[in-house]
Each structure stands twice: as structure tokens, then as C-alpha cells.
């Protein structure tokens, strides 16, 4: 079944991510569109709503999935989550705490981790 790799356009990213090129992998099973695709970041991410394995804590990819959602709606939802993290439903509690307590330091950490993930490839 199809696999899609997506790179966000810099003009659509929050300032923190504009220079670091985060990439997504979207994998569709034979059950799509009745079941959501598997979506995860290929680049390492330090984000309140991204797990260590790159998977994303996003309701439309889990309990609120609908067969009416398409790739565009998934990407739009992820874009929104990148713009405005939800620290109240964290996949990464350390990132959520830093985001709430010190956004400047949070942004530095985001940049450093994603940049390092491309060096490690």
C-alpha cells in the first residue's frame, strides 16, 4: 500500500521549524479510509504532542478518525499542532513542561534536536 513522505513548506511552519525541514512518513493500510494511516515524523522531534518514535498524539489519527478525512485534512491538523502545541495532552511531558515554562528554551531545543537528527542520518 502507498507510503507518502511529506516535507512542510517553510512559509507554513512556525518560526522555530522554518530552517530545519521536519519530514513526515504517512503509511496507508488496506483498511484505509476506514482506519487512519500511520503517520510519524522521520526527523526527530521535540514537541509536546510527538512521541519518541515520531508518532503524533492527534485525536483525528486515533479515536476521532473519520473516513471523510483525507491527506490534506491530516496535514492541516498536523500543521495546526506544530503551530500551537497542546501541552494539556502531552506525548512528551518534558517538551510540554518546557513549552509552558520557557518558550525560548523550548524553541532552541526543538531546533537543535531536529537539526541533529539530519546529521545522524
Helix (H) / strand (E) element for 4: namely strand 3-7
Q: What is the pLDDT of residue 48?
A: 97
Active site residue 57: yes
pTM of the model: 0.80
Classify the C-alpha dihedral 96-97-98-99 as positive or negative: positive
Alpha carbons 32 and 14: distance in angstroms, whole number: 30
Mean local confidence (pLDDT), 102-121: 82
pLDDT of residue 116: 81
pLDDT digits (tens, 9 = 90+) for 19-70: 455 778 889 999 999 999 999 998 888 999 999 999 999 999 999 999 999 9
pLDDT at 9 over 80: no
Q: What is the per-residue pLDDT for 24?
A: 85
Which pLDDT does position 21 carry in this prediction? Answer: 59
**Extents of the domains making up the chain:** 3-119
Tell me the pairing of strands 3-7 and 38-41.
unpaired
From 26, 39, 45, 57, the catalytic residue:
57
CATH code given to domain 3-119: 3.10.110.10
- 103 C-beta neighbours (distance < 10 Å), count: 11
Residue 18, pLDDT score: 47
Amino acid at each position: 500500500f502507498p507510503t507518502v513522505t511529506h516535507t512542510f513548506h517553510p512559509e507554513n511552519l512556525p518560526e522555530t521549524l522554518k530552517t530545519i525541514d521536519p519530514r513526515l512518513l504517512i503509511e496507508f493500510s488496506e483498511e484505509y479510509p476506514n482506519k487512519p494511516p500511520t503517520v510519524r515524523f522521520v526527523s526527530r522531534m521535540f514537541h509536546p504532542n510527538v512521541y519518541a518514535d515520531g508518532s503524533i498524539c492527534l485525536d483525528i489519527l486515533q479515536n476521532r478518525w473519520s473516513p471523510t478525512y483525507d491527506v490534506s485534512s491530516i496535514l492541516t491538523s498536523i500543521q495546526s499542532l506544530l503551530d500551537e502545541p497542546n501541552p494539556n495532552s502531552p506525548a512528551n511531558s518534558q517538551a510540554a513542561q518546557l513549552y509552558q515554562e520557557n518558550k525560548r528554551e523550548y524553541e532552541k531545543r526543538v531546533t537543535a534536536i531536529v537539526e541533529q537528527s539530519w546529521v545522524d542520518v
